[in-house]
Structure 1
Amino acid sequence: MDVLSEIRQSRMSRFQVVAVTIALALILIDGFDVAVMAYAAPVLSREWDIDPVTLGFLLSASLFGMAAGSIFLTPLADRIGRRKLTIISLVIISAGMVLSVTSTGVAQLMAFRVLTGLGVGGMMANLNVLVAEYASDKRRGSIIGIYTAGYPIGATVGGLAAGPLIPQFGWQSVFAIGAALTVLMLVVSWRFLPESLDYLLTRRPARALERINAILTGIGKSPVDSLPPVETAVAEQGAVREVLTRPVRFRTLMLWTGYACLVAAYYFANTWTPKIMATASGDDSLGVTTGVIANAGGIIGCFIFSALAVKLRSQLLLVVTLVGAALAYVVFGLVFSFIGLAMVLALFLGILTTAGIAGFYATSPGVYTARARATGVGWMIGLGRLVSIVAPILVGYLISGGLAPQSIFFLFAVPLAAAALSIVALNASMKRTPSPVVPQPVPAATH
């Protein structure tokens, strides 16, 4: 058995647990840093006399940055390494958060929010890959589920912190807390976050053998005497070429299609359900409560996915989740005027859609080799971020055009069903032609 297979089929070592825990802490901070803008918005809009349209662009600024970071920064991890890109991203986020505290106008703050989002976008998909590579085969789906929950948990913590801080210390206080936490995690990551073993074996950077053996020792495995050979065809194939070459090209298309369809439905529900419920009930506070319930469902959904992934394949769970989400949207559209029942269903909307995102995070790294993994996953998430910007705007136009709210829920059940079909097609493709294994097996040292 080669070393990579032995590591992934063995119980996770303390070294692996530390790496995954750092990644989880980082995603919590990301959730906090992105969400604080929403909590500061009411005070800011009054202090700076910001009109609703401008406020909307200010709230979306970090999403633009996150999309750009996922598309343009994350692929660098396949060239310079997962650890190095994480450090760079943390520096960018720290700068964006510190500068946000000093902002004196809308244009400044918008620019600094784009900068913060750029770092978050570059780091999120990269950390997803790192977690997948350090998790054992048995625990990978479960760990990715917990990892996915980190983002909404961080956003929730941001809300809990903003409540007492902003009235007493001003809107800058939550940005200052986020900046301090980010800088702290920059120091922790610099000291303790390891490089990906898959990356070191594939890309062969300077001192690769020394670094590989240091990681193997930390995991409790025997060091290797030399680096294994890499097939010439594999060595010459770049990340972009792998992602866009058959049969991986078809799998990439299925991932992009499925994830974009899911994210469209997810962001429609997250942004518009509170408003729709408030209008239907005539009670603004009920709309807010519905939004909180849906977000709580998202956290629960990640942990449910994590628990089930111990026994079931992530791909199977993902298909079931997406079909269930499509049905939940249809039922919600049918009963949303029955307020009590609709609020219960809002919990299930959150559970199913966020569990679906966890499923894509767990499934996507296995589609690519280590040489192209960050590029493939980063582009998938980047495309989803672009859709996350467009979907709520599209819904606004549909409602303005007179489309009934329940019909919009029916409408978004269609992309969820399409996402399920995309994963079925992806699984069929991978069964026909399994992905190549890169790097070649690493023989254990003979001592």
Structure 2
Amino acid sequence: MSKFQITAVSIALMLVILDGFEVGIMAFAAPQIQEQMGISPDVLGYVLSASLFGMAIGSIFLTPLADRFGRRPLTLAMLVLIVAGMVLTITAPTAGMLILWRVVTGLGIGGMMANLNALVAEYSSDARRTTAIAIYAAGYPIGATIAGAIAGPLIPAFGWHAMFIAGTILAAIALLTSWALLPESLDYLLGRRPANALNRVNQILGKMHLAPLSELPDRDPTEENPAENKGTIREVLTPPTLRLTIALWVGYGLLVASYYFANTWIPTILTNVSGDPQLGITMGIGANLGGVLGCFIFAALAIRFSGRHLLFLTLFAAAGSYLLFGLIFDIVPVAIAVGFLLGVLTTGAIAGFYAVAPTVYSARSRATGIGWMIGLGRLVSVVAPIIVGYILAGGMAPERVFIAFAVPLVIAGVAALSLLMGRRNAAMAD
């Protein structure tokens, strides 16, 4: 990979770190927000889910715009939306307004994340694509870990608003950096051919130390013949891709529902059970650090093993970790260790879906396919923190909730197993 390719992937990694930070800060700010605003657990579930709902809508309806207008302009527009959402969150006087502005922030995050996933897949070398995407996926727990590390000293000293001020500053820096350094997708330029496409392609090829083109290559026949051109949406939703699309939706949706339940509720649950806010923050940081390690382990294993094989094995192991966490919940030192393992496995599995999904779709529909997988998965995940809020408000023991969430992870593992029988995209096979 050339320096230019590494820079492109690194910018995407920086942005997904920002995403992890922007979403993660709410989990750490939630106990103080609940106390200051007098929010009940069921309403707090809506607060915690608000950004997830925005992310789902952004992934479904905004990400496909990247296949039409380009990866770079959509990413910059989403960063502007994130900055606006963070600024408005700081000013929110009520829980209702807080929920609204978290939805706005989530729209920006959702519209950007799947788009970045496609960009990393396109700028990574064939031999290291799965590994590069797994490393990229580590950015989310890295960002959430940074949020936890900052929350420890910042919230007690300056209150929860300080976390969102920090997030606004980081988002603004990311916007300026992306404006200067983030390239357009080469596959987008070759496929969609916007104005001045040949010159822009040759500029990118030069930075990659590749020979320039005298003319753009011939289009795929299916793109020239409207009768044969299914379009991006039809490609995602018709055989033989449809079965793989459904498997991605089911598997990813159930995984992220379990993931976001744990990541959004663990700090609050442990704080309420123990009476020690620091224990909740420590547990949240531990789970996110485990997530970072899980992505790097997945990336290392992907050098030698198929990403699809690794994915279903990781999901079944994650189900076991949720079950174990529920059984030893009251033994705090052991629970912290298992929580770390829980983070390793669930985030490693998310990295697996990010690595496998680009192999299912062609370049022209990749952002749409990945965006819909992430968006529909997030719609499912939105429900998880809300339902858990009602369950806890009804008096159910937290450990029983963790045991129950092992079931959807088993189903996700079965869905991932079915991907092994699916066709591979010849240009993007893992």
Normalised TM-score (structure 2): 0.89
Aligned to 1:139: 128
Aligned to 2:145: 156
Aligned to 1:69: 58
Aligned to 2:213: 224
Aligned to 1:203: 192
Structure 1 residue identity aligned to 2:13: L
Greater shift in the superposed pair: 243-252 or 330-339 = 330-339
Report the Cα offset of residue 114 of structure 1.
1.4
Aligned to 1:312: 305
8 A Cα contact 1:277 1:336, kept in partner: no
| 2:150 paired with 1:129 | no
- 5 Å-filtered alignment, 1:4-19, equals 12-19=1-8
Identity of aligned residues (%): 55
8 A Cα contact 1:73 1:122, kept in partner: yes
* Cα separation, partners in 2 of 1:49 and 1:144, compared to 1, 3 Å: same
Q: Which of the residues 422, 425, 429 maps onto 1:435?
A: 425
Structure 2 residue identity aligned to 1:244: L
Aligned to 2:20: 31
> What is the rounded CA distance, in whole Å, between the counterparts of 2:128 and 2:297 in structure 1?
14
Cα displacement string for residues 393-434 of structure 1 (whole angstroms, at most 9, x for unaligned residues): 33455567787766544543332222222222222121xxx4
8 A Cα contact 1:67 1:386, kept in partner: yes
> What is the rounded CA distance, in whole Å, between the counterparts of 1:144 and 1:77 in structure 2?
19
- 5 Å-filtered alignment, 1:275-286, equals none
Matched residue count: 424
Aligned to 1:176: 165
Query: 3-state DSSP class of the match of 1:153?
Result: helix
The unaligned stretches of length 5 or more in structure 1 are: 1-11, 439-447
Report the Cα offset of residue 25 of structure 1.
1.0
Cα displacement string for residues 85-139 of structure 1 (whole angstroms, at most 9, x for unaligned residues): 1011011111112233344444443322211111011001111111111111222
* Cα separation, partners in 2 of 1:360 and 1:159, compared to 1, 3 Å: same
8 A Cα contact 2:49 2:383, kept in partner: no
| 2:371 paired with 1:371 | no
Q: Which has the larger radius of gyration?
A: 1
Structure 2 residue identity aligned to 1:222: A
The unaligned stretches of length 5 or more in structure 2 are: none
Report the Cα offset of residue 390 of structure 1.
1.3
Aligned to 2:252: 259
> What is the rounded CA distance, in whole Å, between the counterparts of 1:125 and 1:372 in structure 2?
12
Q: Which of the residues 248, 262, 285 maps onto 1:269?
A: 262
Q: CA RMSD in A?
A: 2.8
Aligned to 1:346: 339
Structure 1 residue identity aligned to 2:138: A
Aligned to 2:85: 96
Normalised TM-score (structure 1): 0.86
Aligned to 1:385: 378
Report the Cα offset of residue 354 of structure 1.
0.8
> What is the rounded CA distance, in whole Å, between the counterparts of 1:16 and 1:116 in structure 2?
29
> What is the rounded CA distance, in whole Å, between the counterparts of 2:51 and 2:363 in structure 1?
29
* Cα separation, partners in 2 of 1:264 and 1:58, compared to 1, 3 Å: closer
* Cα separation, partners in 2 of 1:76 and 1:410, compared to 1, 3 Å: same
Cα displacement string for residues 130-178 of structure 1 (whole angstroms, at most 9, x for unaligned residues): 1111111222222222211211211222233344444555543332222
> What is the rounded CA distance, in whole Å, between the counterparts of 1:48 and 1:347 in structure 2?
31
Structure 2 residue identity aligned to 1:251: L
Aligned to 2:179: 190
> What is the rounded CA distance, in whole Å, between the counterparts of 1:344 and 1:100 in structure 2?
34
